[in-house]
Amino acid sequence: MGARSVNATPCPCGSGHAYAACCGRWHAGPNHLQAPDAEVLMRSRYCAYVRDDLAYLRATWAPETCPADLAPNPPGLKWLGLEVRQHAQQDADHATVRFVARSKLGGRAHRLQETSRFERRNGRWLYVGGDLN
């Protein structure tokens, strides 16, 4: 697939925008790793999971909670969609995002429901952890 068609592809995060104008700019653009808020970071991380971009996931994960054994998607996993249900800002440097991510593996559908915690450190939002709902 050429660069032009990839740039016009709808973003997996469900925003309705093209990938290049949405999460793609956070993955590789001049603002790399500078998502403006926790919800944008959450959406870009979901896209990184879809695209198996482990480097982006590690770079946006708080070092003290990032797993050492972060692995690519298993063969046959298909990500089906993301629904952001709530974005709450606790203060200037702390926020939560409640979401549902759907996937399918081996003919079985899965739903991951989580309330993720984010912190802004040195001007960058990072994923710290989450609680499964």
Q: What is the pTM of this model?
A: 0.91
Q: Please, what sign has the CA dihedral across residues 76, 81, 82, 83?
A: negative
Per-residue pLDDT of 70-94, as tens digits, reads 999 999 999 999 999 999 999 999 9
pLDDT of residue 38: 97
Output the pLDDT for position 89: 97
Closest of 128, 14, 18 to residue 81, by C-alpha: 14
* 34-76 per-position pLDDT tens digit: 899 999 999 999 999 999 999 999 999 999 999 999 999 999 9
Amino acid 7: pLDDT: 62
Write down the domain spans for the chain.
3-132
| CATH class of the domain at 3-132 | alpha beta
**CB hemisphere CA count around 92 (13 angstroms):** 3
